[in-house]
Structure 1
Amino acid sequence: MAGSPLSAPRTMRARWYLQVDKYGKSINEVCEIFGISKKTYYKWYNLDNGHDSRKYVSRKDHPKLKLTPKIRLVIYKAKIKYTYGLYNHTSKTNKLWLYTF
């Protein structure tokens, strides 16, 4: 969304923070002055101050996931034993197959 007409320029955001920090205005007042919502203010404040909500967060497996680690190991051992499929036991990528899911 950076660079789009909907994103707030860095200089504009700096004015928001200056009003709150230096001049002691409340966030409600700043949002009314600049015509933004509090949600927008806090979104940009968190992004600019290192509280990036877009960082990678490992998520839990879906509850209906059928390929559990135990089943994945069974499949991996069968691939090594019977060498079915594109990757056989001599392939270097076969060792990484277990971790690609």
Structure 2
Amino acid sequence: MEVTLNRYIEITPEIRGGKPRIAGTRITVADIAMMYLQMGQSLELIAGKYDLPLASVYAAMAYYYDRQAEIEQQMQADEAFVNALMHSRPSRLQAKLKALRGE
């Protein structure tokens, strides 16, 4: 049996932090899963929108389902990092708006 996902999915430490992504792009497996599962976009729409081979988008979802717990954990860690960063460094725009409102 020949495994062909490696044709579509690659991991390179210096690109997107080593997250699995569609070969030749910066679009991660997690990006595809989020667009498909959370945003409700069809795989055909995603492929067309980003000019990707349809097989690569399906391969990304197959890769996601094979490693769902691991990828979900990384997505949650990324979200927690962003939230912590947002709270530790408030937006200058938000600060200006608060100042204008007298808060």
User: How would you bin the TM-score normalised by the shorter chain?
Assistant: 0.3 to 0.5
Q: TM-score, normalised by structure 2?
A: 0.37
The structure richer in helix per residue is 2
**Structure of greater Rg:** 1
